Amino acid sequence: MTRHKTAHLDPIPICDSGYASSKYAHALSHMGQPVQLPSCGGWLLQRRINNTDYLDGRGGYPIFCCSDWQGLPADLASLEESTIAVSLVTDPFGSFEEDLIRECFPDQAYPFKTHYLVDLSSPISSIVAKHHQRNAAKAARVLKIYEEPDHAIYLDTWRKLYANLIQLHKIKGVAEFPDPSFSRQFDVGGLRVFVAKDGDEVVGMALWIIHNDCGYYHLAAYSSRGYDLRASFGLFMHTFEVFAQEGIERLSLGGAAGLANAKANEDGLARFKSGWSNNTRDVWFCGRVLNRGVYDALCGQTEMSASEFFPAYRSRQE
């Protein structure tokens, strides 16, 4: 196995934009206490385990990003005194090899979900499915679609649209963001906000995150009118055009809904994303037990220790 450097002479500079930024980590403070990993430049969210004094760590939503994956082994080693276990989902554009991931996460490391990627060095017309292009053209004829640099203007509008999304799709868990989180997310460096209007009414919004010169489709929400007018197609096409003009060539659209891969012809979200994509890459689910004795004691019984859920002691809670 290839050995990797496990320490830096000095901590790398703190990233001030995107998923690896301090502001984004603190926007997720409802999920846990943000803890910086100084060697790799990423963040974990530490949570108290049940009613104990023990802590575990999880990556942010929806993926874990950092500036230098080679520094991750040193950061994980430094957590062994305070953290029982760590879990995260890798960045589809992360600069790491499989052996590094397996070295860092010997307990759980497997391809988790296929993410749809875009290489905008090719013409948009050769990337996007004809069906999507037709729907985008229809949307552009009736909607005003543009980027809004003053994010705060539409914060309350976004909250209303996202509340509609939660109700429509019965969203629970990490994607059910509280209002303070959105206030902080709208202040994150690298956030790009795109708006679709029908007359004076905002019928759809799409949020993107820029990190390391890559664009990540973050969240989107629409009103009933927005769905009827195909606002999602218009917003995606406009975003592609803007990013292509700026030279942002690598985009990640995320994966299908749920905890497992879905075939594009069976899942609506997968079908939508695949129609905008010209590449894919699997992201990895990663888990590491840092204190085996306490971990096994928290699981309490063999069947929980052997659970596919990681960390297993949370399988009855999440």
Spell out the domains of the chain, with CATH numbers in brackets: 18-113+283-314 (no CATH), 122-248 (3.40.630.30)
Q: How confident is the model at residue 8 (pLDDT cuts 50, 70, 90)?
A: very low
In this prediction, residue 1 carries a pLDDT of 35
Per-residue pLDDT of 223-267, as tens digits, reads 999 999 999 999 999 999 999 999 999 999 999 876 666 555 557
- Does position 194 have pLDDT exceeding 70, yes or no? yes
**Best-predicted range by mean pLDDT among 5-14, 47-56, 305-314?**
47-56
In this prediction, residue 82 carries a pLDDT of 83
Per-residue pLDDT of 97-114, as tens digits, reads 999 999 999 999 999 999
- Does position 85 have pLDDT exceeding 50, yes or no? yes
Q: d(Cα 69, Cα 95) in Å, to the nearest integer?
A: 7
In this prediction, residue 169 carries a pLDDT of 84
Tokens for 16, please give them. Answer: 């001030």
Distances (CA, A) of 244 to 86, 98, 179, 247: 37, 30, 32, 5
Q: d(Cα 22, Cα 37) in Å, to the nearest integer?
A: 11
In this prediction, residue 164 carries a pLDDT of 93
**Best-predicted range by mean pLDDT among 11-25, 170-184, 203-217?**
203-217
Burial of 27 (0-12, 13-18, 19+ CB in 10 A): buried
In this prediction, residue 314 carries a pLDDT of 86
| Average model confidence (pLDDT) across the chain | 90
Please count the CA atoms within 13 angstroms of the CA of 67 that sit on its side-chain side: 18
Handedness of CA 281, 255, 288, 32 (dihedral sign): positive
Please count the CA atoms within 13 angstroms of the CA of 158 that sit on its side-chain side: 23
Per-residue pLDDT of 117-137, as tens digits, reads 999 999 999 999 999 999 999
In this prediction, residue 9 carries a pLDDT of 42
**pTM of the complete model:** 0.90
According to DSSP H, which parts of the chain are helical?
22-27, 72-78, 98-104, 124-127, 130-142, 155-169, 179-185, 224-228, 231-246, 268-274, 292-299, 302-305
Handedness of CA 113, 305, 297, 78 (dihedral sign): negative
Lowest-confidence range among 191-205, 208-222, 258-272? 258-272
